[in-house]
Amino acid sequence: MLPRERVLAILNRQPVDRLPVDLWHTPEISALLRQHCGVTDDLAMYRALGLDKIVWAFLDYYTASGEIAGSQAGAGAEEGGNRTMWGVPLKDVSVAGGHYAEFAAAPLEGYNTPESLNDYPWWPSIERFNYEELATKAEEAAKDFAVVGPWVSLFEIYCQLRGMENSLIDLVESPKLVDAILDRVEEIQSEMMRRFFARAGKWLDLVFVSDDIAGQNSLFMSPGLWKRYLQPRLRRWCDLIHAHGLKVFYHTDGAARLLLSPILDCGVDVLNPIQHTCPGMDMEELKHEFGDRVIFHGGVDNQFALSRGTPEDVRRETRHCLDALGAGKQGYICCSCHNVQPGTPLENILAMIETVQRASADAGL
């Protein structure tokens, strides 16, 4: 099977020759892998490695002066932008050979009433997204690979705008402000999605909804608060995405077990990243409880196994993910649990990819 065929078959619960293997990585790891493969672009690198890559199609946003404000996921400083599309200031941070655009301030920190939001100068204009350029890139990628895009978020953007501490306090003390901000965040991105789907929908397969609602040990908010503020909005987005014939790829890191059932109730099709080292995220239990409701994506630990382990550690970790999340040779796309970071040994990355590609039916896969 070809990479695109293999991923789409898994998404539609159809038979596959083997489980797919995807890879998330930073730009530094991309450069390392291109050099290893002797190619100059990422699509050629995915082909050379035999990856079943789900290619990201994230929209650039242009400011009134014509500068790129950064990708939807919040990056931008690496492209020269000093703010995100939401007006969040960025700063360059270099750590252990990696280059990151971190959030420098919370620009809505002083806007404490719904009425004050009218004075905020950085609300994005849906006219300034580069729809056409990305549609062309999505069309090219879709020749060989599944494509996911655009990137949308609710609570992550709220936290960028208000700051993490204020955001958690707001959920309890300022419900009208929370609703007013989330309404704008939802409406802007909903219209952006409609316009992008009209131009590129036929080359898309999934839409990326990223909304971290948990940390390493617990949820950021109570299940009741999530259901009050985020569940109806996520359900509306799932309905919108499904109405265009696309699937919902939902990302939340951390110990999210208590909210997985209501998240899936909204209509989520793919759940990422399955950070199984966190409490409550046991892979066998998740497969047993939710395996008939959702496709799992991710799993392979990159905090320890990929980044610090040996190739044999990575092979063992990958086989564990395949056995647990991919039981029955269905319902799972193997991938690094998040972006593989600079300094990760090349041989470890290759060990993950090759373990999936060589997995045999005799092993229960």
Instruction: Name the phi and psi angles at 84, rounded to 5.
Output: -80, 175
Q: What is the pLDDT of residues 134-179, one digit of tens each?
A: 999 999 999 999 999 999 999 999 999 999 999 999 999 999 999 9
- What pairs with residue 146 in β-bridges? 54
What distance in Å separates the CA atoms of residue 317 and residue 342, rounded to the nearest whole number?
A: 20
3-state secondary structure of 147: strand
Please give the pLDDT value at position 70.
Answer: 56
Domain boundaries, the chain: 3-363
> Whole-model pTM?
0.95
Query: What does the pLDDT read at residue 337?
Result: 95
Measured CA to CA, the distance from residue 30 to residue 36 in angstroms comes to 10
Amino acid code (one letter) for 319: R
Q: Hey, what amino acid is at 12?
A: N
pLDDT in tens, the chain (365 residues): 999 999 999 999 999 999 999 999 999 999 999 999 999 999 999 999 999 999 999 999 998 777 788 554 544 333 446 899 999 999 999 988 888 889 999 999 999 999 999 999 999 999 999 999 999 999 999 999 999 999 999 999 999 999 999 999 999 999 999 999 999 999 999 999 999 999 999 999 999 999 999 999 999 999 999 999 999 999 999 999 999 999 999 999 999 999 999 999 999 999 999 999 999 999 999 999 999 999 999 999 999 999 999 999 999 999 999 999 999 999 999 999 999 999 999 999 999 999 999 985 444 44
Place of tokens 């004075």: 119
Residue 284 CA to its chain's centroid (Å) = 23
Spell out the alpha helix ranges (H) of 204-345: 223-229, 231-243, 257-265, 283-290, 305-308, 311-325
Cβ proximity of 151 and 206 under 8 Å: no
For residue 346, what are the CA distances in angstroms to 100, 310, 350?
21, 11, 6
Can you tell me the distance from the alpha carbon of 68 to that of 60, in angstroms, rounded to the nearest whole number?
A: 7
Fold type of domain 3-363: TIM Barrel (3.20.20)
Query: With contact defined as beta carbons under 8 Å apart, do 254 and 212 qualify?
Result: yes
Residue 97, pLDDT score: 84
Q: What is the pLDDT of residue 15?
A: 97
Residues 213/231, Cβ–Cβ less than 8 Å: no
The pLDDT tens digits for 181-217 are 999 999 999 999 999 999 999 999 999 999 999 999 9
